[in-house]
Amino acid sequence: MLKTGCHLSAAKGYENMAKEAKAIGANTFAFFTRNPRGGKSKALDEEDISSFYKLWNSGGDEIGGNDDEKYETMIKGKLVAHAPYTLNPCSNKEYVREFALTSMREDLERLEYTPGNYYNFHPGSHVGQGTEKGVEMIAKVLNEVMWEGQQTIILLETMSGKGSEIGGSFEELAEIIDRVELNGKDGKTNRIGVCMDTCHVSDAGYDIKNDLDGVLEEFDRIIGIDRLKAMHLNDSKNPCGSHKDRHEKIGDGYLGLDTFAAVVNDPVLKELPMILETPNDLEGYAAEIRLLRSLEK
């Protein structure tokens, strides 16, 4: 069965996210580590985390919302924590770069309380400094916040390439990874991967609608398919190569339902956690989760 879910609010804690996930039939989910627009993170509640794991791993009756017996048999996917949108490690402003450094360091330390999951972030925008400088600055921050025993894998998100965004091409992501010290080339220290966003990657010019296999082959050649750890599933309001980054509900945009049928049945992609970021409420996400599972062959 697919490991699919959506973004859930962390405002009421981990236990509440487990309850909401089960209510919509999700067996993975994403959450922001702090307000999406920045700011301080909430104090950690270890009792809340313990309660989360009890519910998440058991799917017990106290959660409610779906067929408990069926939910208990679901294989749970890794959680995909998301850094705030305002995080930009390659900004031309020092205070913005400092926020990125301190926030990432704090987020990664906190995520050790839920070990073995993912931390996804938008690589950033070089703001006129040039791609090469942007790549250098992103890698520098990553090397400062990562450590040898780290249990969280950091994911660079594929971007649409609008403005001065870094990450609109596989080559840019590969350049960042190559400069990260704990990038796993020795076979032991892999702490970094990629989250592919279907809207972003299409808007960047990769034609997953008509040639998903070709795009994945290109990803494998440039980055390595073993680096692909998670998916953001979003239809797009704009055609391939538009560089717009405007999400649409599954099947209602340019990509169309056939694209997502190909994604959920791809032998590599179907094993990854798939996070919905479409313009929806929880009821809408529940419907999309059912839709995606109906496409499985």
Q: Residue 92 belongs to a domain with what CATH number?
A: 3.20.20.150
Query: Domain range holding 253?
Result: 4-294
| 285: its two tokens | 């996400």
Q: What Cα–Cα distance (Å) separates residue 89 from each residue in 143, 184, 255?
A: 12, 22, 31
Instruction: Return mean pLDDT, the chain.
Output: 93
Q: Which residues pair with 228 in a beta bridge?
A: 194
Per-residue model confidence as pLDDT tens digits over 157-212: 999 999 999 999 999 999 999 999 999 887 778 899 999 999 999 999 999 999 99
DSSP 275-292: EE-SS--HHHHHHHHHHH
Average pLDDT of the residues in 15-44 = 89
Per-residue model confidence as pLDDT tens digits over 105-156: 999 999 999 999 999 999 999 999 999 999 999 999 999 999 999 999 999 9
Q: Is the pLDDT of residue 58 over 80?
A: no
DSSP 231: E
CA distance 204 to 239: 10
In 80-157, beta strands by DSSP E: 80-82, 118-121, 153-157
CA distance 17 to 167: 30
| Planar angle of CA 16, 101, 112, nearest 5 degrees | 40
pLDDT computed for residue 42 by the predictor: 80
Cβ-based neighbour number of residue 52 at 10 Å = 21
pTM exceeding 0.75? yes
CA distance 169 to 158: 7
Per-residue model confidence as pLDDT tens digits over 212-259: 999 999 999 999 999 999 999 999 999 999 999 999 999 999 999 999
pLDDT computed for residue 64 by the predictor: 44
Domain count for the chain? 1
Distance of CA 272 to the CA centre of its chain: 11
Sheet with 153-157, edge to edge strand ranges? 4-6, 274-276, 228-233, 192-197, 153-157, 118-121, 80-82, 30-32
Residue among 96, 150, 154 at smallest CA distance from 122 = 154
